[in-house]
Amino acid sequence: MTTDHRAGENGQNHKSERAAPMERHLQTAIGAVLIGLVFWVGSTLTTTQTQMAVLQAKLTGLTEEVAKLRLKVEQGVDDRYRASDARRDLNEVWSAIKEIQEDHYRVIPPKP
């Protein structure tokens, strides 16, 4: 009776010996891929955080610029010469003209 010493009692020992190194290689490859992914995620996260900091600084600058422009616009609106201002000034001019005319007629009466 000849028996194969590589095979176990059920004949599975030979296959598992061949599969074990393949599984180890596969696990090593998967481990390397996972480590690579972890490094990539870390690098991407760091880059994203840096970009967010830059965007935050730009947003702060833009917010300040908008506030300055808003103030400038509000001041510009107050500096306008409106129709109501013109009416007020015209009424003052006509009042001054009437006062001058009244003073003139008091000093020099009109000829009959």
Q: What is the spatial distance between Cα 90 and Cα 96, in angstroms, rounded to a whole number? A: 10
Residues 92 and 98 sit within 8 Å (Cβ to Cβ): no
CB 13 within 8 A of CB 6: yes
At 85, phi and psi to the nearest 5?
A: -65, -40
9-35 pLDDT per residue, tens: 555 555 556 668 888 889 999 999 999
Which residue stretches of the chain are H helix?
13-78, 83-107
**pTM score, whole prediction:** 0.44
